[in-house]
Structures are given as structure tokens and as C-alpha cells.
Amino acid sequence: MSQITNNPVFCALDMQEVDAASAMAAQLSGYVGGLKLGLEFFMANGPGGIRAVTEAAGLPFFLDIKLHDIPNTVVGAMRAILPLKPALVTIHTGGGPAMMEAAAKAAQEVGSERPQIIGVTVLTSLDDADLRAVGVSGNAGDQALGLAQLARDCGLDGAVCSPHEVAKLREACGPDFTLVVPGVRPSGADVGDQKRVMTPTEALSAGADVLVIGRPITQAIDPGAAAAAIASEIAGG
Ligand code: C5P
């Protein structure tokens, strides 16, 4: 669990090609705290692709595969990915207490090198009307808060949340719960399709531990320089 470094930025490599992801990772080495590889990359390239990118990069990585199934299947999937040595892995809190407890226990099997298991609460693509359509009567904010507290009680290490939920979740879940925050934009950056953004410094002061930043780095003319500028903005320089 010691794989999160002083630099809280994990760069989202939202691409399918192993070569492109490896080249991007090589440019970012030294300027980010880690890499995030998601479902799209994993589906396209499997564990071999993950190994190819992360072993060459030598950076901690966040395997954002949002597992959600019966406990037995999630435990099997967790055991299959633990040899990749991710720093963080996501599972859906909607899988329920037994699934979360089983996933947390499976991760313990690898001892101190285990990844942090991070719960996905309410996807930010869902609004209150979408939640009602799937039978949830509360609003998205309250639902996210309740699921984060449940995740903590089931032994998960943290949760993903939007910048605007961080302060509330930090207060409710305590100082040791890892809050992973996407929707972060360095000062002056193009917000793209992210609607409710914060700067890295704002998100960190609200209580974020890990900042997931993709396009402001990967689509910059010089990704290494963009990542270095973010690191310097965070350091106050
Ligand atoms: O390019 P950008 O910085 O917007 O990328 C953010 C990353 O965080 C993407 O990988 C996106 O899928 C992910 N993410 C998000 N909002 C969430 C959960 C994950 O933007 N609520």
C-alpha cells in the first residue's frame, strides 16, 4: 500500500494502443505520481498489455476496471489481477457489502504489496432522474455519500468522487480514507466535456488524495511539460 508517491497526479491514459500508452508513459516519468489504465485499455490488451506499459514506465498504476459481480466472481477477478501489482483497483460499491468485503479480503492475500481497493459510488454520468429509473429515490449526492460510508465500513480503502463531493466525503469518512478525484483541470486549461471542475490545488485543499487528470496532459503538445507544470502548480511554484 506504499505505492502512492508525493505527487498525487495519476495520468489517465485513455487510449487502446499499447505503443501509444507506453510512449506517453515514458514522457511522463518523473512528472506524475502514477498512471491510470481503464476498462477500454484492459479489454483491448488484457494483462499482457498492462504489464507492457507499467513495467517499462516503472510508475505506480491505477487499474480502473470497476468490478461488479457476485462475490465469488469478483474474488476470482481480483486474484487474477493482483500479480500485476496495481497501486489502486476500482470496484462498484453497488455490488453490495458481501462483494466489497470479499474483494477487500482477497486483496489482503498478497500482504503489504496489496493495492488499495477503491469504491465507485454513483457514476457522474447519472443524474437524479437516472437514479429514479433504476429504483433509487434519494439524490445523487446523498447516494454517493451513503455508498462511500458503506464502502469504508466494508473495509475498502477509499472512493472515487467528483471535486464537489470531496469535502463532504472527507468529513464523513475520516482522514484515512483515500479520495480519488477526476474532473480536475489546471488553471487556464480547456475543461473539455467535464462540467464541474476544480483546479488541482482546490481539489487537494478540499481533501483529495489522488487527482486523475487525462487530456490536459495527454493532449498537450508537450505532455511531459504539461505534467511538470501541474506538479509545480501543486507545489506552489
Ligand atoms: O481527460 P480527463 O482529465 O477528463 O480524464 C478523466 C479521467 O477520469 C477519465 O479516465 C474518465 O473516464 C475518468 N472519470 C471521470 N469522471 C468520473 C469517473 C472517472 O472523468 N466520475
Distance CA(182)–CA(210), nearest Å, equals 9
pLDDT along the chain (237 residues), means of 10: 74 97 96 97 97 93 98 98 97 98 97 96 89 93 95 98 94 97 89 84 96 97 96 88
What was the pLDDT predicted at 3? 53
Atom 11 (ligand 1): residue with closest C-alpha? 182
What was the pLDDT predicted at 22? 97
What was the pLDDT predicted at 5? 66
Cβ contact 217:227 at 8 Å: yes
Residue of 212, 217, 218, 219 to mutate, ligand 1, most atoms within 8 A of C-beta: 212
Residue 133 lies in a domain: yes
What was the pLDDT predicted at 2? 42
Atom of ligand 1 nearest to the CA of 184: 3
Q: Ligand 1 center to residue 14 CA distance, Å?
A: 9
Atom of ligand 1 nearest to the CA of 161: 21
For the question of residue 66 being annotated catalytic, the response is yes
**Site residues for ligand 1, CB cut-off 6 Å:** 12, 14, 38, 124, 160, 162, 182-183, 192, 194, 212-215
What domain range includes position 195?
9-236
Residue by residue, DSSP assigns the chain as: -----S--EEEE---S-HHHHHHHHHHHTTTSSEEEEEHHHHHHHHHHHHHHHHHHHT--EEEEEEE-S-HHHHHHHHHHHGGG--SEEEEEGGG-HHHHHHHHHHHHTTGGGPPEEEEE-S-TT--HHHHHHTT--S-HHHHHHHHHHHHHHTT--EEE--GGGHHHHHHHH-TTSEEEE--B--TT---TT-SS-B-HHHHHHHT-SEEEE-HHHHTSSSHHHHHHHHHHHHHT-
Cβ contact 31:237 at 8 Å: no
Atom 5 (ligand 1): residue with closest C-alpha? 214
Residue 175 lies in a domain: yes
Q: Ligand 1 center to residue 39 CA distance, Å?
A: 12
Question: What are φ and ψ of residue 204, in 5° steps?
Answer: -65, -40
Residue 29 C-alpha from the chain's centroid: 19
Q: What's the burial of 176, exposed, middle or buried (CB within 10 Å: 0-12/13-18/19+)?
A: exposed
Residue 148 lies in a domain: yes
What was the pLDDT predicted at 237? 63
Residue 76 lies in a domain: yes
Residue 4 lies in a domain: no
Q: Which CATH number is 58's domain given? A: 3.20.20.70
Residue 158 lies in a domain: yes
Distance CA(58)–CA(35), nearest Å, equals 10
Q: Ligand 1 center to residue 230 CA distance, Å?
A: 17
Atom of ligand 1 nearest to the CA of 185: 3
Residue 2 lies in a domain: no
Domain count, the chain: 1
Residue 3 lies in a domain: no
The candidate with the shortest Cα–Cα distance to 120, out of 102, 93, 152, is: 93
Distance CA(54)–CA(191), nearest Å, equals 28
Atom 8 (ligand 1): residue with closest C-alpha? 182
Q: How many residues does the chain have?
A: 237
